[in-house]
């Protein structure tokens, strides 16, 4: 008798089915984790970009953001960032696809950047522009693509503790 060793078609199909079920269970969580990491990286880049804009303005023009109004803050950012287009004197689209909305600009801000009420402006950053999900990040468990950054006279920081935790991986 000739006995051949190998796998039957049924065994191969069962194995492929098991691999498919495992892939179907793990791929969505991997994709969500990847998207959250992209949002976090975009947020870090946005904070860095805004800090550089405020610092560069101080270094080149000798002015910090203390006396800037909403329009002044908008013009500071358009002058110091790599801007693709603007809209309505408060929305900036950057070359890397971010959407910055300048809101909450004060008539003046205190020079003590450690006080929460001493901010000069608030910038809402959508790190991936018009692409979804376009939701505000409120905690560290579910990170979305919209973050809020406060601009102080010489620095930019996340608006609240939850976004600071996202930024600094706590």
**67 versus 95: which is more confidently predicted?**
95
Per cent of the chain over pLDDT 70 is 88
Please enumerate, as own/partner, the contacts of 50-54 that have beta carbons within 8 Å and a separation of 24 or more. 50/77, 50/123, 50/149, 50/151, 50/156, 51/155, 51/156, 52/80, 53/77, 53/80, 53/81, 54/80, 54/151, 54/153, 54/154, 54/155, 54/156
pLDDT category at 16 given cuts 50, 70, 90 is very high
pLDDT category at 170 given cuts 50, 70, 90 is low
Domain boundaries, the chain: 9-167
| pTM over 0.85, yes/no | no
Rounded distance, CA 102 to CA 124, Å? 7
pLDDT category at 1 given cuts 50, 70, 90 is low
């Amino acid at each position: 008798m000739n006995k051949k060793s190998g796998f039957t078609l049924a065994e191969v199909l069962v194995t492929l089915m098991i691999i498919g079920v495992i892939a179907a269970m793990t791929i969505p969580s991997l994709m969500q984790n990847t998207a959250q990491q992209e949002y976090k990286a975009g947020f870090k880049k946005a904070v860095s970009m805004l800090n550089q804009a405020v610092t560069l303005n101080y270094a080149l023009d000798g002015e910090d953001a203390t006396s800037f109004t909403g329009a002044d803050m908008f013009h500071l950012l358009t002058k110091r960032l790599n801007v693709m287009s603007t809209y309505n004197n408060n929305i900036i689209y950057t070359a890397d696809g971010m959407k910055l909305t300048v809101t909450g600009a004060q008539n003046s801000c205190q020079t003590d950047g450690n006080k929460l009420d001493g901010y000069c402006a608030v910038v809402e950053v959508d790190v991936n522009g018009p692409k979804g999900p376009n939701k505000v990040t409120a905690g560290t468990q579910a990170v979305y693509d919209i973050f809020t950054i406060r601009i102080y006279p010489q620095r930019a920081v996340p608006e609240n503790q939850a976004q600071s935790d996202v930024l600094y991986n706590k």
